[in-house]
């Protein structure tokens, strides 16, 4: 999929918004991506997942399991796993620690693809990787619909995204939109 087509699709579904946002991290930003608004449409979720899977398959990367952080990565992780015809598991934050629950398990040596909806700071991705590594698995790649870090975060593992955005986050006291007196219109959801 072309980046332009993707941007249009996200914007049409209000998943990608321009404005003046306060993130739950406290930072201010001029762009906001809410993956749930595009992934609520199963056909679009499947289409995006296939496009992401195709990129990864082109690099001959073998995947045994897709693992995602809950909640943001669950839907897209499930669809990417379908495209690879492998199982999809997710990790949940329990007592500040990303953990496998619900009887999910991984086997020693399994090749894991970590799938996120959006990478901003890379924090939850890193937590998923660190948690899974304890099981002696191989993390073969990281994939996300959107990379908000402009691909600046290096995990030392191949990383794929459909859309790379160079989004600036500002501390509240340094925010140029605040300085202009622009109202904050949205306080979006979970920290990523
Ligand atoms: Zn501001």
Tell me, yes or no, whether 56 lies in a domain.
yes
Q: How far is the CA of 184 from the centre of ligand 1 (A)?
A: 7
Give pTM, 2 decimals.
0.89
Distance 20 CA to ligand 1 centre (A): 6
- Ligand 1 geometric centre to CA of 14 (Å): 21
Residue 128 covered by a domain = yes
CATH number at residue 164: 3.40.50.2020
Q: What total number of domains does the chain contain?
A: 1
Residue 188 lies inside a defined structural domain of this protein: no
Q: What is the pLDDT of residue 96?
A: 86
In a domain, 73, yes or no: yes
Asked whether residue 20 is assigned to any structural domain, the reply reads: yes
Ligand 1 centroid distance, CA of 7 (Å): 24
Pair 52, 66: CB distance under 8 Å: no
- Asked if residue 184 belongs to a domain, the reply is no
Q: Which of 115, 113, 136, 111 is nearest to 124 (CA)?
A: 115
pLDDT at 8 over 70: yes
pLDDT-derived band at 167 (thresholds 50, 70, 90) equals confident
Residue 76 lies in a domain: yes
- Full domain range(s) for residue 38: 3-179
Tell me the CA–centroid distance for residue 127 and ligand 1, in Å: 29
């Amino acid at each position: 999929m072309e980046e332009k087509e993707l941007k249009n699709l996200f914007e049409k579904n209000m998943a990608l918004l321009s404005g003046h946002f306060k993130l739950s991290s406290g930072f201010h930003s001029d762009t906001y991506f809410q993956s749930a608004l595009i992934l609520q449409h199963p056909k679009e979720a499947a289409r995006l997942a296939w496009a992401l899977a195709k990129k990864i398959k082109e690099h001959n990367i073998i995947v045994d399991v897709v693992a995602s952080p809950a909640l943001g990565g669950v839907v897209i992780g499930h669809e990417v796993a379908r495209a690879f015809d492998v199982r999809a598991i997710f990790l949940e934050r329990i007592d500040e620690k990303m953990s496998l629950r619900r009887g999910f398990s991984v086997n020693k040596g399994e090749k894991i693809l970590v799938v996120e909806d959006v990478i901003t700071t890379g924090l939850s991705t890193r937590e998923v990787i660190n948690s899974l590594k304890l099981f002696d698995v191989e993390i073969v790649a990281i994939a996300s619909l959107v990379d908000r870090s402009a691909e600046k975060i290096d995990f030392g593992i191949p990383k794929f995204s459909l859309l790379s955005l160079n989004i600036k986050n500002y501390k509240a006291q340094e925010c140029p939109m605040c300085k202009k007196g622009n109202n904050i219109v949205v306080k979006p959801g979970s920290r990523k």
